[in-house]
């Protein structure tokens, strides 16, 4: 299912948001940056079957933004709707959060990373939405012939899912709204104001907050490369440190195994990409270190 052309997006904006948009500049397969009355916005399309989850994520972004953290809050259509049907899917209009993406290799950026993620989690403590997907480690298990390419991967995935489920049953974890993709590229540091935002809430869900922290630490390169991030997160989120020490290792193992599975899938589709081979080698080594420490 393909996203609509830019001109279709402009037509939807004129019709449903009753505005006169400028050119829609593609920012990916299903996202455009658009100027409206001198302001900068983002238009996004998702397939119809994702509508309820997408609107839940937009509502979460709206909530975070209201507390002063730029989150790409939605601009509601003229009738108040979060999304409007278009081309076998729905479109939404969001505020563009100014600034540059954070850099995982920058120690100060890693502190902003953890602080902003923790702040977003804290602002969402009382936010609820019926269509936020619940975190279920078993549902994350990938399948397909590519898993057999690496003999260690299938058992690793099953073992880490079991470990996370045990932690979720035996430990008292802090639950809340998850961003579900808190990589550095989704954070925005505005040099003009020093403000840091977090965008990309389309896949938001609910679950143990440390699942997001584990994803961020893995995106930074693993525990050894994420100094400053975890401490900043714990200060901002108010997740207890002893909870983090008990539960984060299993969640890190799970995310490392899932990331390795993604790399294997890309290699299975196109084995010529050297960066995928390098990523798999790094993730396999990282998983081995993390699993040994459990």
Q: Are strands 133-134 and 205-208 parallel, antiparallel or unpaired?
A: parallel
- 119 with 178, same domain? yes
In the block, tokens 């100094």 appear at 227
Give the separation between CA 175 and CA 184, rounded to whole angstroms.
Answer: 22
The conformation of residue 5, written as its DSSP 8-state character, comes to: P
| Residue 192 scores a pLDDT above 90 | yes
- 56 with 83, same domain? yes
Model pLDDT, residue 4 = 75
| Residue 247 scores a pLDDT above 70 | yes
* Section 245-258 average pLDDT: 97
For 29, the domain range is: 6-96
Contacts of 156 (CB under 8 A, 6+ apart): 253, 257, 260, 287, 291
- Mind listing the pLDDT tens digit for each residue in 148-163? 989 999 999 999 999 9
Write down which residue in 78, 96, 114 finishes a domain. Answer: 96
- Mind listing the pLDDT tens digit for each residue in 129-138? 999 999 999 9
| Residue 128 scores a pLDDT above 90 | yes
The CATH number assigned to the domain holding 116 equals 3.90.1200.10
pLDDT band, very low/low/confident/very high, at 103 (cuts 50, 70, 90) = very high
Taking alpha carbons only, the member of 209, 202, 201, 205 closest to residue 114 is 209
Contacts of 86 (CB under 8 A, 6+ apart): 4, 8, 9, 12, 45
The CATH number assigned to the domain holding 92 equals 3.30.200.20
Could you give the number of structural domains in the chain? 2
- 270 with 198, same domain? yes
- 122 with 31, same domain? no
| Residue 272 scores a pLDDT above 90 | no
| Residue 193 scores a pLDDT above 80 | yes
Read off the tokens for 16.
């449903």
* 1 within some domain: no
- 82 with 156, same domain? no
Write down which residue in 80, 96, 112 finishes a domain. Answer: 96
Model confidence, pTM: 0.95
- 150 with 106, same domain? yes
pLDDT band, very low/low/confident/very high, at 294 (cuts 50, 70, 90) = confident
Model pLDDT, residue 104 = 96
* 137 within some domain: yes
Give the separation between CA 213 and CA 33, rounded to whole angstroms.
Answer: 29
Kindly give the residue spans of alpha helices, DSSP state H, lying in the chain.
6-16, 51-66, 107-123, 153-170, 210-220, 229-237, 241-269, 274-292
Burial annotation 154-187 (CB, 10 A radius, 16+ → b, else e):
bebbebbbebbeebbeeeebbebbbbbbbbbebb
- 106 with 235, same domain? yes
- 155 with 283, same domain? yes
- 187 with 69, same domain? no
- 64 with 119, same domain? no
- 68 with 174, same domain? no
To the nearest 10°, the Cα dihedral for 203, 206, 208, 212?
20
Write down which residue in 62, 96, 130 finishes a domain. Answer: 96
| Residue 6 scores a pLDDT above 90 | no
* 212 within some domain: yes
Q: How many CA atoms lie within 13 A of 104 on its CB side?
A: 17
Give the separation between CA 15 and CA 21, rounded to whole angstroms.
Answer: 11
- 71 with 130, same domain? no
* 173 within some domain: yes
In this structure, are residues 157 and 149 in contact, taking their beta carbons and an 8 Å threshold? Answer: no
């Amino acid at each position: 299912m393909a996203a609509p052309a830019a001109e279709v997006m402009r037509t939807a904006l004129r019709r449903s948001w009753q505005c006169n948009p400028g050119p829609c500049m593609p920012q990916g397969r299903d996202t455009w940056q658009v100027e409206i009355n001198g302001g900068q916005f983002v238009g996004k399309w998702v397939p119809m079957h994702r509508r309820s989850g997408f609107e839940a994520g937009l509502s979460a972004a709206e909530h975070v933004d209201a507390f002063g953290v730029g989150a790409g809050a939605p601009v509601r259509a003229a009738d108040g709707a979060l999304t409007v049907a278009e081309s076998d899917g729905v479109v939404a209009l969001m505020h563009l959060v100014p600034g540059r993406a954070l850099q995982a290799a920058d120690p100060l950026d890693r502190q902003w990373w953890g602080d902003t993620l923790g702040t977003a989690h804290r602002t969402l403590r009382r936010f609820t939405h019926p269509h936020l997907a619940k975190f279920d480690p078993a549902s994350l298990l990938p399948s397909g012939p590519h898993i057999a390419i690496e003999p260690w991967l299938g058992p690793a995935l099953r073992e880490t899912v079991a470990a996370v489920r045990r932690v979720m049953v035996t430990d008292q974890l802090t639950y809340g709204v998850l961003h579900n993709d808190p990589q550095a590229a989704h954070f925005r540091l505005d040099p003009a104001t020093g403000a840091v935002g977090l965008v990309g809430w389309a896949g938001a869900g609910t679950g143990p907050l440390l699942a997001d922290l584990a994803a961020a630490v893995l995106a930074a390169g693993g525990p050894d490369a994420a100094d400053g991030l975890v401490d900043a997160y714990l200060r901002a989120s108010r997740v207890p440190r002893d909870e983090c020490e008990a539960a984060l290792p299993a969640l890190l193992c799970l995310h490392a195994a899932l990331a390795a599975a993604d790399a294997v899938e890309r290699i299975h589709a196109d084995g010529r990409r050297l960066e995928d081979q390098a990523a798999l080698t790094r993730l396999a080594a990282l998983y081995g270190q993390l699993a040994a420490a459990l």
